């Protein structure tokens, strides 16, 4: 059973988000500190898995090959900086298609759980939207962490209106990772 899993949203958490979507690698920009945060997760025996809605495919704004190139280049950059993203699960559906995989539904997390035999009750989700936090709750994850990057600040208001309280609110991915590691979440060699 895979433990110490940290599910991560992509846009607004790892990289800058855009209301026009991130359609190709030229538009992809890592957020400050995100590469170091991914390295810290890997260094502390946590498994990072990206869970992302990418309706730009279903909306015909960009193609699957562009998405695969973005993910390939993102993974290469993360590895060069000492981190690892173990897998990426994405939903290409539009919101009106009512699929089971689009966050806030837990379908992507359930796909990952099935593939890797993840103990969801010990897993964590880091996201910048209310959908991410709701997805974590819908999947029965141990922790749901909101970051204030991307849509995070606006999402705090949305979550407050819905009376949903994340386990922690961090300024950015590094702050989220620091909190996750401080909870004793990782397997550490205490020597």
pLDDT in tens, 140-183: 999 999 999 999 999 999 999 999 999 999 999 999 999 999 98
Beta bridge pairs of residue 15 = 11, 30
Catalytic residue among 9, 17, 128, 132: 9
Q: Answer yes or no: CATH 3.40.50.1000 is held by domain 5-182.
A: yes
CB within 8 A of 170, min separation 6: which ones?
126, 145, 146, 147, 148, 176, 178, 179
The Cα-based distances of 13 to 67, 98, 168, 188 in angstroms read 17, 25, 15, 25
Q: Is 96 a catalytic residue?
A: no
Give the DSSP H/E element, type plus range, for residue 178. Answer: helix 173-182
Find tokens 């964590």 and name the residue.
124
Catalytic residue among 11, 128, 132, 172: 11
DSSP per-residue codes, 99-131: -SSSTTSSHHHHHHHHHHTB-GGG-EEEESSHH
Structure tokens at 16: 């800058």
Beta bridge pairs of residue 52 = 90
pLDDT tens per residue across span 49-91: 999 999 999 999 999 999 999 999 999 999 999 999 999 999 9
């Amino acid at each position: 059973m895979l433990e110490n899993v940290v599910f991560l949203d992509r846009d607004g958490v790892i990289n800058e988000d855009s209301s026009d979507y991130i359609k190709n690698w030229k538009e992809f920009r890592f957020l400050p500190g995100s590469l170091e945060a991914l390295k810290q997760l890997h260094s502390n025996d946590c498994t990072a898995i990206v869970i992302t809605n990418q309706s730009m495919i279903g909306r015909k704004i960009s193609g699957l090959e562009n998405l695969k190139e973005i993910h390939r280049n993102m993974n290469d950059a993360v590895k060069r900086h000492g981190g690892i993203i173990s897998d990426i699960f994405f939903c290409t559906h539009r919101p009106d298609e009512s699929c089971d995989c689009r966050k806030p539904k837990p379908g992507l997390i359930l796909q990952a759980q099935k593939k890797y035999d993840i103990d969801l009750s010990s897993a964590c989700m880091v996201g910048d939207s209310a959908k991410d936090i709701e997805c974590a709750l819908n999947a029965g994850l141990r922790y749901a962490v909101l970051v204030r990057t991307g849509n995070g600040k606006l999402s705090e208001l949305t979550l407050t209106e819905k009376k949903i309280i994340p386990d922690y609110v961090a300024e950015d991915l590094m702050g989220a990772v620091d909190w996750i590691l401080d909870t004793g979440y990782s397997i550490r060699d205490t020597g």
